[in-house]
Structure 1
Amino acid sequence: MNGFVEAMGQVAGAVSVVTVRDERDDVGTTVSTLTSISLDPPLVMVSMANRGYLNELLLRRDRWAVSVLSVEQKTIASSFAAAGRPGARLLLAGTPHHRGPLSEALVVEGGVTALEAETTQVVPAGDHTLYIARVLGVDYVDSSASPLVRLRGRYRSVG
């Protein structure tokens, strides 16, 4: 598919961090594919690359959190996107965060919103896996914060 990556790079996506609690550590990654699927019941979807420990973990653990980052959180987005990154607790050292009461996953504070979710359906999709999840709770909403988006291969602010 000549030009597919470039074409999809023209589509802006909100930058989020998905986290899940493992027995040994907390694991997380940066995604730009959080999508609302349904209002009744409230469902969201994230897409994960098939390679990597987080995808394996999400196949075993149903509950997770997603923190939609603000423009001030580019460093967090980059840290969670880096190859060979350490566990989520180390990545969030010095950054306001807490453990979600419903998912037990780490929730990044200071973003535009954060949700806790429970996977209801797993859909293989090429080199990715789609996780459709019921929203267990909305941790916070800050409508005054500007969201961080990924567009044309870079993190950008909106407006």
Structure 2
Amino acid sequence: MPVDPAAFATALAQHAAGVCLLTVRDDIDDVGTTVSSVMSVSASPPLVAVGLAAEGYPAEVLEEVGTGALTVLAAEHAIVASRFASAGRPSARHLLEQVPWTRAPGSGAIVLSAGLAALDCRLERLVEAGDHVLALLAVEDVPVLNPGARPLLRLRGRFVDEAGGAAGRG
């Protein structure tokens, strides 16, 4: 018997997940998307995997460019996470007005200065996974590291802080 899609989505919403911003700089613009399907794959060599919609523009640009950056968002970035999760969003730079950011040294992608951490990455490969792809990323640098910052989490369809309360707005 197939699993009910609504029950599946509700079950997975019970899992608190860290929220990240994946950005890619191409010749035309900066592209970004909010992701909460991120996992550490290997410490040696340093690898992470990110789940992306297979038909989405961020996956297409990442595959074309081959590099990007992943910022682990702080609780103060709840609005940023919402902006980058919306459909039809403009350039990443326009969504980050008033938010301090810099460029990762290798990929040139945007990283948020106040994130918990940022990873400068090179795409190893994309792996098909249903209606998504897993982007296997080789971490080449850690340009931002703020271990004392409060994390942004996604739980039950909402952005929350580490205590489960509404995340700060910043």
Write the distance in 1 (CA, Å) between the matches of 2:65 and 2:100: 24
Where structure 2 has 5 or more consecutive residues not aligned to the other structure, the ranges are: 164-170
| Separation (CA, whole Å) in 1 of partners of 2:135 and 2:90 | 23
Q: CA offset at residue 119 of structure 1?
A: 1.0
Structure 1 segment 2-41 matched on structure 2, within 5 A: 2=4, 3-41=7-45
> Could you tell me how far 1:31 is from its partner in structure 2?
0.3
Distance in 1 between the 2:124 and 2:28 partners? 24
> C-alpha distance in 1, partners of 2:128/2:134?
6
**Distance in 2 of aligned mates of 1:144 and 1:108:** 15
Which of 80, 92, 96 is the equivalent residue of 1:76?
80
Residue matched to 2:151: 147
Q: In structure 2, what is the Cα distance between the partners aligned to 1:60 and 1:88? A: 18
CA distance in 1, matches of 2:98, 2:161: 23
Does residue 124 in structure 1 map to residue 124 in structure 2? no
- The structural deviation recorded for 1:110 is 0.7
Give the SS at the match of 2:76.
Answer: helix
Deviation at 1:51, TM superposition (A): 2.3
Structure 1: give runs of 5+ residues left out of the alignment: none
Q: Which residue of 2 aligns with 1:45?
A: 49
Task: Please point out which of 81, 91, 98 is paired with 2:95.
Answer: 91
Q: Could you tell me which of 115, 119, 122 is aligned with 2:119?
A: 115
The equivalent position to 2:69 in structure 1, one of 45, 65, 84, is 65
Deviations 1:109-142 (A, max 9, x none): 2111111111112100000010111100011211
SS in 2 for 1:71: coil
Moved over 2 A (4+): none
Once residues 94 and 57 of structure 1 are traced to their aligned partners in structure 2, the CA distance between those partners, rounded to angstroms, is 25
TM-score of the superposed pair, with normalisation by structure 1: 0.97
Which deviations, in whole Å up to 9, do the C-alpha atoms of 1:4-39 show, x marking residues without a partner? 001111111111100000111000000001211000
